[in-house]
Amino acid sequence: MRFIMRVAMPFGHRSLVLILPLFFLAAGCNSAFWATDNDLLLRLPGTERRSDQIEGILRPWERIERIAEKGKEGAKAPPEEKKILAFQLIEEYNRSQDPLVRRAALRALGQITENTAIPSALETLLSALHEENLGNRMAAADALGMYGSMVKSNEMKEVRLGILSVFSETYREAAFSSDAGNEKENNERKDFRLSLLRNAARMDDSPQLIEFLAEAMQDEPLDDGALRLAAMDALAKVTGKNYGADYELWSTYVAYRQGKRDRPPKEISGLRSALNLQDSALLK
């Protein structure tokens, strides 16, 4: 507070009305938003020296804004223009070391490829599933979910199945660790795996998808039930069947789809489904 008074006094007490809100706003910022060459003001959080700015060099948040604009523009652009924008976004992703910039590029790629298959974008998104940053891995899963939901034609079936195969493999690789002290890491793995399940549900029904979701529905050490519920929810979205959160009924249905049973189980009523889901939530 003494420092704020020192800054404000040369300008009069009324300047406190302006400086105090600015100080508390700046305190919550991780990057500079105000440029100045005043040595006293430079001690405020959220400031940077004006003379340090380099003309033509974009700050991270400026790059993120431009990337987001490319995503919006590319979503409505014709196919050839989409490919050009996708190339620019891939370059931005590969060039940047800032995780937020890279995440913005992945999200923009998802917007651009939602209606157009672009192999170079697919390759980048698949690679990003193995990023160290959790947010970026989840952004890649979201983008791939859009990509996989788009390729509906038979000639693109292999692309969709390829995405699903990588989802399944990556899901297994992100299995929980039983080592002591890994609670934070396991929480991140759970969030990532939930993202994979959620995005797999955006794809067309197929034997491969049923196998993936059936595997995710099985008991797993350290799972609090979230993965099983997410797998059953994904099965409901993909198949259009209603077995609520009843594990036994879903297991029977999966067995039917795998050719191990002659007929599927009878679907449950809407009321029973709601009660089933409520009971499952209470058990968590």
CATH number for the domain spanning 83: value is 1.25.10.10
Q: How many separate domains does the chain show?
A: 3
Report how far residue 268's alpha carbon sits from residue 250's, in angstroms, rounded to the nearest whole number: 11
- Same domain for 263 and 201: yes
Give the largest CA-CA distance in the chain: 87
- The last residue of one of the domains, among 150, 178, 212, is 150
- Same domain for 63 and 44: no
- Same domain for 94 and 38: no
- Same domain for 280 and 206: yes
The dihedral sign for the CA sequence 159, 160, 165, 170:
positive
Q: What is the pLDDT of residue 273?
A: 52
pLDDT at residue 1 greater than cutoff 60: no
Report how far residue 201's alpha carbon sits from residue 197's, in angstroms, rounded to the nearest whole number: 6
- Same domain for 139 and 90: yes
Q: Over the stretch 232-271, which tens digit does the pLDDT of each residue have?
A: 999 999 999 999 999 999 999 999 999 999 999 999 876 4
- Tell me which residue range forms the domain holding 72: 58-150
pLDDT at residue 71 greater than cutoff 50: yes
Three-state SS at 36: strand
- Same domain for 42 and 13: yes
Residue 176: inside a domain? no
Residue 222: inside a domain? yes
- The last residue of one of the domains, among 118, 150, 182, is 150
Q: Over the stretch 149-208, which tens digit does the pLDDT of each residue have?
A: 775 566 678 888 899 999 999 999 999 988 856 888 999 999 999 999 999 999 889 999
Three-state SS at 47: strand
- Same domain for 65 and 14: no
- Same domain for 260 and 203: yes
Count the Cβ atoms, other than its own, within 10 Å of residue 225: 15
Residue 169: inside a domain? no
Here the contacts of 238-242 (C-beta below 8 Å, separation 24 or greater) are: 238/201, 238/203, 238/204, 238/205, 238/209, 238/210, 238/213, 239/205, 239/210, 241/267, 242/267, 242/268, 242/270, 242/273
- Same domain for 47 and 106: no
Residue 172: inside a domain? no
**Distant-in-sequence, close-in-space partners of 176: CB < 8 Å, separation ≥ 6:** 182, 186, 189, 190, 220, 221, 222, 223
- Same domain for 228 and 200: yes
pLDDT (average), residues 75-90: 93
In the numeric block, the tokens 């160290």 are attached to: 132
pLDDT at residue 50 greater than cutoff 90: no
36 dihedral zone (left: phi>0; alpha: psi -120 to 50; beta): beta
Buried b (16+ CB within 10 A) or exposed e, 65-83: eebeebbeebbebeeeebb
Q: What is the pLDDT of residue 160?
A: 87
Q: What is the mean pLDDT of the chain?
A: 81
Residue 282: inside a domain? yes
Phi and psi at 43, nearest 5°, equal -80, -10
Q: Which amino acid is at 43?
A: R
- The last residue of one of the domains, among 96, 124, 150, is 150
- Same domain for 67 and 9: no
Q: Over the stretch 100-138, which tens digit does the pLDDT of each residue have?
A: 999 999 999 999 987 788 999 999 999 999 999 999 999
pLDDT > 70: percent of the chain: 72
**Distant-in-sequence, close-in-space partners of 98: CB < 8 Å, separation ≥ 6:** 60, 63
On the CB side of 180, how many CA atoms lie within 13 Å of its CA?
A: 0
